[in-house]
Structure formats: C-alpha cells, structure tokens
Amino acid sequence: MSNQPLMPKATAVWLVENTALSFDQIAEFCKLHPLEVKAIADGDSAQGIKGLDPIQTSQLSRADIEAAEADTNKRLKLADAKVRLPAPKTKRGPRYTPVSRRQDRPNAILWLVRSHPELKDAQIMRLVGTTKSTIQAVKDRNHWNSTNLQPMDPVTLGLCTQLDLDLEVGKAAKEKPVQADTGATLLPASETTAARESDAPKKPLEELNVDAVFAKLKQLGGKSE
C-alpha cells in the first residue's frame, strides 16, 4: 500500500480550503513541500484544480482532521484502503485525445511549460497526447495561434488526470540534478598581485635650492646686495 494519498495536490487544495490544518500538517500528509502548500493557499499554485475530499475517499476521517486541528504537532496518517487498487501500468501507448479537446492542447502545453519547466518534452507528449514539434512551436511562440493561447491546466481540460500529472512531475523532480553550492570564490591572481595605488612609494621631495630662493627674493625687493 502506498503511503501517499490519491491525487495529493487536489487533496491539499481541499484541506487548505476546508480545514484549519497548518501548512506543515498538510504538506506531510500530501507529500508536498510546505512552500508549495503555502502557494496553494495564496492562489499562486494549483489554479483550476478541483479539491478532492479525503473523507469521501476514505483516506481520512473527520475525527482525525479535528484532532489535528486542535493539536498542530499531530500528524495525519493515511487510513487503510478498503478497496485494493490494481497497480498502475508503467508502459502505455500514446494517449488518445478526444477531437473536442484537441484544440485545447496548445493551452495545456503552455501551462505545463510555465508551471512545470522541469518536465521533459516526452513527458508533456504523454500527458496531453501532442507532438514534439507542437511543443517546440509553443515554447518559441511560433505556433499559428500563439497570440490567443492561454495557459490552462490539462487536468481541468480533461486531457490527463491529476494522478498522471503528479507522477510525471515527481519523476522530473527526481531526475533534476542538484546544483552544487560553489560558495565564495577566490579573486583572480591579477587582482591580488596588482600593486595598490596607496601602497606605491611616494616621490621624495626635491632638495631645497637656497641660492635660487635668495635670488628670487632679490628680484622681488629690487635691491642688490
């Protein structure tokens, strides 16, 4: 049995809208990052996703939610499934898209490119049943209808399920390389070895010429010795 709830993002949307649970409690139950849950609450993420009631799907009970609302340190646990679902097939053929929905695929591609840039073209092709050339045209703004395209959630459009989307996003997150922290870098040798202007040796003062000074004074006074 999986320890992840069914359609975790849709479940998180419902918990944010209908409970007083903390972001950490929702994030841990739905296997999301707390900042992602906060973005859902602020309306910056999961726009257009319909919330999934975990009580109706027997993943949680009302008593469990009320107990967690009263104690922020309490963590929600996924209830035992009453019905065993068959394991999803990993290998599938090309997704069939109904004719009535095919005109919405560019909008769905634009949403995926903006909301989940970590997704590969092959993953987008599996989700919305499109071609690589169409994806590239949307990315480069060369699509014939690019001026009228609007980013739309493919789940809302019915092009894929939330479970499929979460699965592909999870795969892309695992394959994304972690950027190494290079930290502070040393200055180049040309800068460290360059002589500072303030450290340059000062030019010694010219020696005082006594005869020249007296000669100048004589000229100014108009008298000769």
The tens digit of pLDDT for each residue in 45-103 reads 777 788 888 888 888 888 988 998 888 888 888 876 555 555 555 555 555 555 556 68
Q: Which residue has the tokens 């009970």?
A: 61
**Is 153 in contact with 49 (CB distance < 8 Å)?**
yes
- Once rounded to an integer, what is the mean pLDDT over residues 189-213? 58
User: 20 falls in which pLDDT band (50, 70, 90)?
Assistant: confident
Q: Which of 86, 160, 70 is nearest to 123 (CA)?
A: 160
Q: What is the pTM of this model?
A: 0.40
Instruction: Domain ranges for the chain, please list them.
Output: 8-70, 99-175
Residues for the chain: how many in total?
A: 225
Quick one: CA dihedral 50, 67, 62, 3, positive or negative? positive
pLDDT (0 to 100) of residue 181:
53
- Once rounded to an integer, what is the mean pLDDT over residues 111-122? 91
Q: Which of 79, 74, 90, 89 is nearest to 2 (CA)?
A: 79
The tokens describing 111, both together, are 């949403």
Top-confidence residue, 81 or 174: 174
- Helices 132-139 + 121-128 axis angle, to 10: 110
pLDDT (0 to 100) of residue 87:
55
Top-confidence residue, 134 or 222: 134
User: 225 falls in which pLDDT band (50, 70, 90)?
Assistant: very low
Contact residues for 107 (Cβ-Cβ < 8 A; gap 6+): 149, 150, 151, 152, 157
